[in-house]
Amino acid sequence: MKKIQISPSILSADFSQLGNEIIKLEKGGADMIHVDVMDGHFVPNLTIGPPIIKSLRKYTNLPFDVHLMIDPVHKYIKNYADAGADIITIHPEATENLIDSIELIESLNKKIGVSLNPDTPIKAIEDILSKIHLVLIMSVFPGFGGQKFMPEVLNKIKDLNKIKIDKKLDFNIEVDGGINFENSKLVIDAGADILVSGTTIFSENEGNIKKNIEILKTF
């Protein structure tokens, strides 16, 4: 039976209570914590950086699934590794040499993720799929929580899952953006292993995190 993991995005959390929000996510059954790092340059929004991640590290032992929406990214990777990231996901457009950045993350003993924006084709990363642990498929253009899921990415998820099976690769497929109770089953059936969700987890059912995570996991 396929095991679906949930990586709640703290972008939708109360930023004045991030430590307590992380405790609530862990108690609610989160498998990891999705940390959206934005620099106001790669995406038109600015969130948190290494000092905040370092201060949040003591609140949970769950993996920090750190999504770096920053450009340039290569020279900052070690800062996030040192701050406590467990998975470091980068966008290929944000590094001059994707292989070098992948090898740097590997040298830091962190899990390697690469993210595909809705308009970036799989072929942009097909030759490095065997070197990474995670493909983060964006189902919105990155920058903000609360956006509408883009159903056209379902075919991309299916295509990526077919490549994974045909080439006997073992990276996880994580889908990020606009995931809700209506589309989560479609995303899982298309091949997703991990769902990122911010708005749905924090706002549905009067903010009942445990119930919302349970519903997202059900397919």
Clarify whether 31 is annotated catalytic: no
39 binds, among ligand DX5, Zn ion, none (CB under 5 to 8 A by kind): none
Question: What does residue 163 show for φ and ψ, rounded to 5 degrees?
Answer: -60, -45
User: Using CB atoms, what's the residue nearest to Zn ion?
Assistant: 67
Among 36, 65, 86, 193, which one carries the catalytic annotation?
Answer: 36
113 binds, among Zn ion, ligand DX5, none (CB under 5 to 8 A by kind): none
Residues numbered 35 to 64 that lie near Zn ion (CB under 5 A) are 36
| Token pair recorded at residue 20 | 């307590």
Count of residues that bind Zn ion according to CB under 5 A:
3
The least distance separating Zn ion from the CB of residue 191, rounded to whole angstroms, comes to 19
CB 53 within 8 A of CB 26: no
The least distance separating Zn ion from the CB of residue 165, rounded to whole angstroms, comes to 25
Q: Is the peptide bond before 151 cis (omega within 30 degrees of 0)?
A: no
Binding site for ligand DX5 (CB under 6 A): 9, 11-12, 34, 36, 67, 140, 142-143, 145-147, 176-179, 196-200
Clarify whether 36 is annotated catalytic: yes
The least distance separating Zn ion from the CB of residue 34, rounded to whole angstroms, comes to 6
CB 29 within 8 A of CB 214: yes
Among 31, 39, 176, 193, which one carries the catalytic annotation?
Answer: 176
The least distance separating Zn ion from the CB of residue 143, rounded to whole angstroms, comes to 10
**88-127 in b/e burial notation, b at 16+ Cβ within 10 A?**
bbbbbebbeebeebbebbeeeebbbbbbbbeebebeebee
| Token pair recorded at residue 115 | 């993210």
Task: Name the residues annotated as catalytic.
Answer: 36, 176
User: Could you list the residues that contact Zn ion (CB under 5 A)?
Assistant: 36, 67, 176
